[in-house]
Amino acid sequence: MEPIKKLVKIFHIVLFSSIFLLSCSKTDKDKIESQKQSGQTSMNKPDTIALKDAKYVCPMHPLERSMAPGKCSICRMNLVPVADLNKEMAEKNEKLRKKYAANKDVVYFTVGLPVIKSDECIPILESALSKDAGVMDYNVDILNRTIYTFISKSKTNENKVEQLIADAGFDANNTKANPRAVSNLPAGCK
């Protein structure tokens, strides 16, 4: 009877170890995708508060917000104060405004991004904006879902920039995203 008990015990150890290791190996993308498929997002957790009322946010996943310090449920990063991120963004924008203030050819405008859930969207947006030589500078603010853009009016215009962003798969102000590009975006950007 002893050998059977040992085998059962070993089996249980191997089984629980396997389950533990498999559950710890999910990437952020896997977690986002599984939450999306199961309908479990931070927006429908019972303890989730309205986004605008939150005091803390994940700098990588701006939909992960809380009234108290904690960790992001997706990437386990520490949540940071919303006020700190907004201050940092305002300082970056002010620095860019000062940089281009004397240049009469440079126009400042904002592009609203209704759907942007993760910092993994930033390289995609940067790649799109780099295709237009008239884009002088920009600042992607995932927290407020906005791109603060500085363009040379002699080389491009707002509509062209919005179209570049839409062609990358994101709604840009009133310009709708290219559906084919949307289907190729990572889950954190849809």
Q: What pLDDT is recorded for position 6?
A: 57
Q: What pLDDT is recorded for position 143?
A: 80
Q: What pLDDT is recorded for position 145?
A: 87
- Is pLDDT above 50 for 71? yes
Beta-bridged to residue 3, according to DSSP, are none
Give the architecture-level CATH label for domain 82-189.
2-Layer Sandwich (3.30)
User: Can you give the pTM of this predicted structure?
Assistant: 0.66
The residue extents of the domains of the chain are 2-81, 82-189
- Is pLDDT above 70 for 5? no
Mean pLDDT of the chain: 79
Q: What pLDDT is recorded for position 34?
A: 45
For the chain, the residue count is 190
Provide the residue type at 4 as one letter.
I
| Tens of pLDDT, residues 146-164 | 999 999 999 999 999 999 9
Q: What pLDDT is recorded for position 86?
A: 86
- Is pLDDT above 70 for 69? yes
